[in-house]
Structure 1
Amino acid sequence: MNFVALDFETATHERNSACELGICVVENSEIVETKTWLIKPPSFPYFNPHNINVHGIHPKDVAHAPTFDEIWYEIEDLLYGNLMIAHNASFDAGVLRSCLDYYGIFKPKTEYLCSIQIAKKSWKNLTSYGLKNLANCHDIQFTHHRAGADAEVCAKLSLLAFERLLITENDELSALFSKNLKVL
């Protein structure tokens, strides 16, 4: 399996307000790299107090961080040609789309899949398919709501789910997840 797991944290309710991004790169079913960027959002210096309470990132933490458009070339290299997986992917894909739109950047034709849908096919009848609950079920410790940690846990859970579903190649995803695969 080859894919990137991605997670955003936002400064406000606006989807273009990414303040942190984590990407975990998986090659041949192995995690090879996890990268995290703090990002200065367009709303800077304003951060919604609710968002700060969720992720703990404050305006001072991103005061000298690059804006999304300044790191896009690195992100694009990691995404190019890869399947993107995110936990609650509609949110993360929406943030990515909104950031690209805000800065007038061309959207790549990236396929993405939600790890919640993967988990629901793999582990039936759980009381919750939230990232923290799934991690607890598999004894995975992490710092929840920090983008790099969330992306890496998403990757680990996806790999465990693929193993359980006997999926060993990206091509095998289409049949099982045809209704769930989306394009950015």
Structure 2
Amino acid sequence: MPLDFTAIDFETANSSSASACAVGLTRVRAGVVVATAGWLIQPPAGHDRFFDLNVGIHGIRAEDVVHAKSWSAQLHDIAAFVGSDVLVAHNAGFDMTVLRRACEVTGDVCPPYRYVCSLQVARKTYELPSYRLPSVATAVGFLEFAHHDAAADALACAHIMIDAAARAGVDDVSDLAATLGLRVGQIAVPAPAPAVLSADAVALAV
């Protein structure tokens, strides 16, 4: 199978995992970057306060997202870009939690994406003093990118996976994970709540 996947990165407004304020996406086909995208997001209500700490990291402020789409309005755009791809993210647990939690607080259905963590891949592939995204990106020759710009981070993540797959001699994300002894995760979709029967319905059933 060809090396096809979508790299994704989120930035958040505050310490809430539901507070997505930006997303970056990079599509890879047969080991080649073929499309990139990124946009700002209005964080869900109740999770939309911008903390100074987060603003200091990514530079996005509340006024920057005033005219951006809400989480619910732009979720379709993410899904349209990703399609049925396996997602890849650096420290994927964070980004998959953002997806899941933002959907939970807005009542949206979170797609049950499969995913691989490029941080785990990097730790199994390279001998480096640090496995932060800029350090690994430099090791694979992807230099001078704007760290914590969501689109730039997603592109850097994609280049790490492409390089790691080449070093492992595989051309499929799942094969790369298996070769390195890693698992392909999947976002858990909450089970539907059991139906609550009325007293009359219970009486009819007995």
Alignment TM-score, normalising by the size of structure 2: 0.84
CA distance 1:55–1:123, shift in 2 (3 Å): same
Code of the aligned partner of 2:52:
P
**1:158, CA displacement in angstroms?**
0.8
Verify: 1:91 aligned to 2:55, yes or no: no
Is the 1:132–1:144 Cα contact (8 Å) retained in structure 2? yes
Is the 1:44–1:59 Cα contact (8 Å) retained in structure 2? no
Paired with 1:65 and 1:6, the residues of 2 have a C-alpha distance of: 19
User: Where in structure 2 are there 5+ consecutive unaligned residues?
Assistant: 188-206
- Pairs within 5 Å for 1:51-70: 51-70=54-73
Paired with 1:171 and 1:60, the residues of 2 have a C-alpha distance of: 41
Cross-structure match for 1:116: 119
**1:33, CA displacement in angstroms?**
0.8
Paired with 1:94 and 1:173, the residues of 2 have a C-alpha distance of: 23
Paired with 1:181 and 1:128, the residues of 2 have a C-alpha distance of: 23
Verify: 1:159 aligned to 2:130, yes or no: no
Code of the aligned partner of 1:160:
D
Paired with 2:47 and 2:122, the residues of 1 have a C-alpha distance of: 36
Paired with 1:79 and 1:178, the residues of 2 have a C-alpha distance of: 25
Code of the aligned partner of 1:2:
D
Residue-by-residue CA offset, 1:9-68 (whole Å, 9 max, x unaligned): 000100110000001111111111111010011257620000000001111111111111
Code of the aligned partner of 1:21:
V
Cross-structure match for 1:10: 12
**1:169, CA displacement in angstroms?**
2.5
CA RMSD, 1 decimal: 1.6
Paired with 2:150 and 2:31, the residues of 1 have a C-alpha distance of: 21
Residue-by-residue CA offset, 1:111-166 (whole Å, 9 max, x unaligned): 10100111122113x11110011122234220000100000000011101111111
Paired with 2:182 and 2:126, the residues of 1 have a C-alpha distance of: 18
- Pairs within 5 Å for 1:124-135: 124=127, 126-135=128-137
Tell me: higher relative CO, structure 1 or 2? Use CA pairs within 8 A at least 6 residues apart. Answer: 1
Is the 1:80–1:110 Cα contact (8 Å) retained in structure 2? no
Bigger Cα Rg: 2
Paired with 2:140 and 2:180, the residues of 1 have a C-alpha distance of: 23
After the TM superposition, list the runs of 4 or more consecutive aligned residues in structure 1 that deviate by more than 3 angstroms.
Answer: none
Cross-structure match for 1:71: 74
Code of the aligned partner of 1:99:
A
User: Where in structure 1 are there 5+ consecutive unaligned residues?
Assistant: none
User: What is the percentage of aligned positions where both structures have the same residue?
Assistant: 35
Q: Secondary structure of 2:69's match?
A: coil
CA distance 1:47–1:129, shift in 2 (3 Å): same
